[in-house]
Amino acid sequence: MPHEAQYPNKLATAQAWQTLQSLAQPPHSTDIRALFEADPSRAARFSARLDDLTIDFSKTAIDQAVLDALQTLARSAGLSPFRDRLFEGARVNETEGRAAMHMALRDGRAAGLGADTATGRDDASGIAADELAKMQAFVARVHDGSLVGATGLRFTHVLNIGIGGSDLGPLMATEALTLADGPILHPRFLSNVDGLGMAAVARDLNPATTLVLVASKTFTTQETSTNAHAARAWLVAALGEAAVGQHFAALSTNLDAVAKFGIKPEHVFGFRDWVGGRFSLWSPVGLSIALAAGWPAFAAMLKGAAAMDEHFRSAPFAENLPVLLALVGIWHVDVCGYRAHCVLAYDDRLRRFPAFLQQLEMESNGKSVGLDGHPVQHPTCPVVFGEPGTNAQHSFMQLVHQGTSVIPVDFILAANQDHGSPDAHRILAAHAFAQAEALLRGKTLAEVEAEMRARGVSDAEITFVAPHRVFSGNRPSITILQSRLDAFSVGRLIALYEHKVAVQGCVWGINSFDQWGVELGKVLAGNLLPDLAPGAPPGAHDGSTNALIARFRALRQEA
């Protein structure tokens, strides 16, 4: 049953929402440009720092009255007790009866974090530390060549087979940590059950030098299981059945299924149910990160996340980066009515970060039922999308600048580059700052007409073209700036968004840690699969689905 501390002071919360709504109405200004005209130095007051990390939210329509009201909302929604319960290891994942103690994975045994379970209390920090030590020893053996493949050759590639959090997190972090200097083991990721993915693996990799990780807590996820058996067949065909134990490792808790698959017990790395899939890259699910980037990089990433954990746990709301990031998002979604959110990382190493955030945010907070079992009374998670800058400037940023919907943007960049092209990095940064400034300032019709007239453009052409070159401006953005992108700052950045998600879930009164919406489609797919077989009788589906199945079978050319 839900814990009473999860429920806010409903009267105070309702009043806080009403206050926020009133602050979005005249005579209160929601014009960001007007806020800067009234206070050109507002960036100093509407930004926050943790060491070298700065979050500037001054290019939003938030003034001190709005910020105060947002913090009042957070307090009335029970954010302080929620945060306490989260770090105490209480079962904040109410609908599944689990804690959400991924923080224990990244701060060592001395942190002393525990997690309540259905059967008692886990020493979460101790369990995580033991598993990390086992992972570190395994990584060391692979890297120093004491653990080799069945033919005696050293491993050169690591193939991670997983889906969802067992794929997006490791893939994103591995690219972030290895793109600059290159990997120690070359990583490959296989997630989609489409057979072309496995075909590419078979074409590009040498089974004799490939270490395969199967990332599935239950070892029963259909997509992962299908790909794992395909990889097993590929390896057995080349090296024989006896090679499976030498070339496979499992990131799972289903020891019986893992043993049946042929994986050695010493190659199995587990984690408890208080680690959710989309929060699991810090666990053995991140083994591919350590194998590709090296243990020091993986450990530094954990330390960066732990630094953000401590900040989130102890900093007052007015200085707390995850809290501020979450509250700005709530202002945009629930008060301003913005239903999409764009993330632009001006660093190619973070090219998969928007995809990672899509799962983190939309799977966590894409909910319409509150913890009290009733429909929520306000919008929750926006649609999250993004690409690396400057690529995005030549695709969907047209819509962000001139479309009919206002879409807030997070700009993420580092001040220092890790390559030998400082001029390129300055150009990159100039584009990031310019995009944010353009969203803020826009360009009026009078400005466009004056520019065209100065170039000698005819009045007829000005009349026709000028309206198309007008930018409304007053479009909000947040800039997240840090010294450089390294393993520590990558971990810190990921944890920043993890805690942002938890804060928003608390304020919205939903459970950010379950994902029942993922399950229905998986169940129906299992029920529907037999109906696709040749000669199968019609299934009990709706008319459209039955017609599509019939047409699929008619078009299909069975061998």
Scanning the structure block, which residue is given the tokens 């400005």?
447
247 and 218 inside one domain: yes
User: Helices marked H in 166-251 — which ranges?
Assistant: 168-178, 195-204, 222-239, 244-247
- Supply the angle between the helices 79-88 and 295-314 in degrees, to the nearest 10: 140
**Closest Cα to residue 388, out of 314, 485, 532?**
485
DSSP string, 6-71: GS--HHHHHHHHHHHHHTTSTTS---HHHHHHH-TTHHHHSEEEETTEEEE-TTSS--HHHHHHHH
Total domains in the fold of the chain: 3
Is 26 a residue whose pLDDT tops 50? yes
Would you say how long the chain is, in residues?
559
| 34 and 133 together in one domain | no
- pLDDT score of 178: 97
What is the DSSP code (8-state) at residue 180?
A: T
Average pLDDT estimate for 64-91:
97
pLDDT digits (tens, 9 = 90+) for 369-402: 999 999 998 999 999 999 999 999 999 999 999 9
Ranges assigned E (strand) in 332-380: 340-345
Same domain, residue pair 401 and 501: yes
Same domain, 546 and 498: no
- For the chain, give the percent of residues with pLDDT over 90: 89
Given this model, what pLDDT does residue 154 score? 98
Confidence category of residue 221, pLDDT binned at 50, 70, 90: confident
Q: What average pLDDT is seen over the chain?
A: 95
- How many angstroms separate the CA atoms of 220 and 260, rounded? 12
CATH code assigned at 180: 3.40.50.10490
In tens, the pLDDT along 485-504 reads: 999 999 999 999 999 999 99
- Cα separation, 84 vs 400, whole angstroms: 38
Q: What is the pLDDT of residue 539?
A: 85
Distance CA 393, CA 414 (A): 18
Residue type, 34: A
- The pLDDT of residue 360 is above 60: yes
Calpha distance 33→483 (Å, rounded) = 28
Which stretch of 74-83, 344-353, 361-370, 545-554 has the lowest confidence by average pLDDT?
545-554
Cis peptide before 40 (omega within 30 of 0): no
In a domain, 543, yes or no: yes
Q: How confident is the model at residue 535, as a pLDDT?
A: 84
Q: Does residue 86 belong to any structural domain of this protein?
A: yes
Active site residue 363: yes
pLDDT of residue 497: 98
- What is the Rg, in whole angstroms, of the alpha carbon atoms belonging to the chain? 26
pLDDT at 10: 82
pLDDT tens-digit series, residues 90-100: 999 999 999 99
* CB of 142 closer than 8 Å to CB of 119: no
Checking 144-149 for CB contacts under 8 A at 24+ apart, the result is 148/246, 149/208, 149/209, 149/210, 149/211, 149/239, 149/243, 149/246, 149/247
Average pLDDT over residues 395-410: 97
Q: Give strand pairing partners of 478.
A: 410
559 pLDDT more than 80: no
Q: Is residue 479 part of a domain?
A: yes
> For 343-357, how does the pLDDT look when each residue is reduced to its tens digit (9 = 90+)?
999 999 999 999 999
> Does 257 lie in the same domain as 397?
no
What does the pLDDT look like over 361-378, one tens digit per residue?
999 999 999 999 999 989
pTM: 0.96
| Model pLDDT, residue 209 | 98
Kindly tell me if the per-residue pLDDT of 534 is higher than 90: no
Question: Residue 464 falls within a domain, yes or no?
Answer: no
Q: Give the dihedral of Cα atoms 293, 294, 297, 300; nearest 10 deg.
A: 140
Q: What is the mean pLDDT of residues 239-266?
A: 94
Average pLDDT value for residue range 48-77:
97
Kindly state whether residues 134 and 146 are assigned to the same domain.
yes
Answer yes or no: do 266 and 153 share one domain.
yes
Which has the closest alpha carbon to 501: 95, 32, 102, 49?
102
Catalytic hit among 363, 387, 449, 498: 363
pLDDT for the residue 37: 95
CA atoms within 13 A on the CB side of 171: 23
Rounded CA separation 407/213 (Å):
39
Given the DSSP bridges, would you call strands 53-56 and 477-482 parallel, antiparallel or unpaired?
antiparallel
Identify whether 319 is part of a domain.
yes
Residue 298 predicted with pLDDT over 70? yes
C-alpha dihedral, 426 to 430 to 432 to 437, nearest 10°: 160
**Max CA separation in the chain (angstroms):** 81
Place of tokens 């909910």: 367
Residue 189 lies in a domain: yes
Rounded mean pLDDT, 25-41: 92
In a domain, 150, yes or no: yes
Which segments of 358-421 does DSSP mark as H helices, in order? 364-365, 397-402
487-508 and 321-330 helices, crossing angle to 10° = 50
Same domain, 222 and 189: yes
User: Tens digit of pLDDT for each residue in 140-177?
Assistant: 999 999 999 999 999 999 999 999 999 999 999 999 99
How do residues 195-218 score in pLDDT, each as one tens digit?
A: 999 999 999 999 999 999 999 988
Give the Cα separation of 484 and 481 in Å (integer): 9
The answer to whether residues 347 and 416 belong to one domain is yes
Which residue in 10, 28, 260, 522 is the catalytic one?
Answer: 522
- Model confidence at 7, pLDDT cuts 50, 70, 90, reads low
167, 188: one domain: yes
Residue numbers of the domain that contains 541: 517-555
**Which has the closest alpha carbon to 331: 42, 74, 27?**
74
- Measured distance CA(212)–CA(234) in Å, rounded: 11
Closest Cα partner for 55 from 502, 410, 490? 410
Phi/psi-derived region of residue 54, left when phi > 0, alpha when psi is between -120 and 50, beta in every other case: beta
Specify whether the CB–CB gap between 349 and 359 falls below 8 A: no
Tell me the mean pLDDT in the region 74-80: 96
Residue 545 pLDDT greater than 50, yes or no: yes
Q: Are residues 275 and 205 in the same domain?
A: yes
Residue 482 to residue 412: CA distance in whole angstroms: 8
What pLDDT digit, counting tens, does each position of 256-272 carry?
999 999 999 999 999 99
What DSSP assignment string belongs to 489-515? HHHHHHHHHHHHHHHHHHHHT--TT--
Report residue 320's pLDDT band, with 50, 70 and 90 as the boundaries. Answer: very high
The pLDDT confidence band at residue 1, using thresholds 50, 70 and 90, is: very low
Same domain, 369 and 486: yes
Is 327 part of any domain? yes
Q: How confident is the model at residue 522 (pLDDT cuts 50, 70, 90)?
A: confident
Task: State yes or no: is 378 an active-site residue.
Answer: no
Q: Among this protein's residues, is 498 annotated catalytic?
A: no
pLDDT of 112 reads 94
- In terms of Cα–Cα distance, which of 184, 176, 135 is closest to 156? 184
